[in-house]
Structure 1
């Protein structure tokens, strides 16, 4: 069982480096273009050169200077108070108006259907 451990560690590092490279924004990649790093990781993955090169030379540095501004982080819409507020402001008005329009259209269609059933001609007025 232990003889498979080195293979699994190499595979885990290769997969980690590959996914990390794919998820890194193009403008944050160092050294080579992102596509070149993908090829380096894929071609030299089994001898550890590609993944280690990515981690050392291509991966963006995550550490920030003390006191510097925090990097912008993605926030899920349901955790973003600004997004939720915009839904309440814009969405409530348009939804109410849309509902009123649908109700008016439904009433008009119901009246038209009743006229057809009773045999009245809507053109006669």
Structure 2
């Protein structure tokens, strides 16, 4: 058994090196071409296969591939959070403009209605409310209703 084991190892190494040399892409060969490496592997027992495996080809880096980046949750994404802040800022600005416009219109209505002009009867109160609604509609539409009636 002690005599057979080195021969079996040498033959296994020879077969492995031959198959590896035949399957290797020619662009990965170092300095010598495929035919010369096959001759070295076969003609120089034990040393030929070892030379092929150690210096015969350019090795690929065996580093594990970096894991794919995980998707970022929206509440961890700074760009998404910035967009939300911008939207909130715009909405707050728009709300402030609407409130200012409402105050301005209310003041205009108060200036137009003089003290002492309060309606006394129910019908006069309803007429005043209808007139107020008409003014609000006109101010919302920018007076377009008057141009349409002409």
Q: TM-score range, shorter-chain basis?
A: 0.3 to 0.5
Q: Decide which structure has the larger Cα Rg and report it.
A: 2
Larger RCO of the pair (alpha carbons < 8 Å, separation 6+): 1
